[in-house]
Amino acid sequence: MHRCYECTTKNHTACEYELDPARAKAAGFIKTCPEPKEKGMRALCRTTHQTVLEEVRIIRGCGFANDTKECSGSRNSEVIVNSCQCFTDLCNSVGVTQLAPAALLAAFVLRAALH
């Protein structure tokens, strides 16, 4: 079974940018992910850095994918989302920028270009 940290800074400050594993365990953030039901999908852990109208949130949890792409991002005038996934047990304790500096750089360049 695959395990991930599952939390959001909206509901708990212990889900902060760089998650402290001891605090996360004490807060009950360690979750066993369900097995994928679709063939070709694999379980993963995800960390999402989301900015909505200047409010920043970190969201961590389980997910499924049929590819190994590490990070992706999107942006519009009010929302910036950068999400990175990893495939080992409890791998989503670090922030998005530590998983993918290139993805964060691309998001900043895109943001600057649109403003």
Residue 106: band (very low, low, confident or very high) from pLDDT cuts 50, 70, 90: very low
- pLDDT of residue 67 exceeding 70, the answer is yes
Total-model pTM: 0.77
Q: Which of 16-25, 50-59, 61-70, 97-106 has the lowest mean pLDDT?
A: 97-106
Question: Residue 85 burial (CB < 10 Å; 0-12/13-18/19+)?
Answer: buried
Q: What is the pLDDT of residues 23-60, one digit of tens each?
A: 899 999 999 999 988 888 989 999 999 999 889 999 99
Q: What is the 3-state secondary structure (H, E, C) of the chain?
A: CCEEECEECCCCHHHCCCCCHHHHHHCCCEEECCCCCCCCCEEEEEEEEEEECCEEEEEEEEEEECCCCCEEEEECCCEEEEEEEECCCCCCCCCHHHHCHHHHHHHHHHHHHHC
Q: Is residue 103 scored above 80 in pLDDT?
A: no
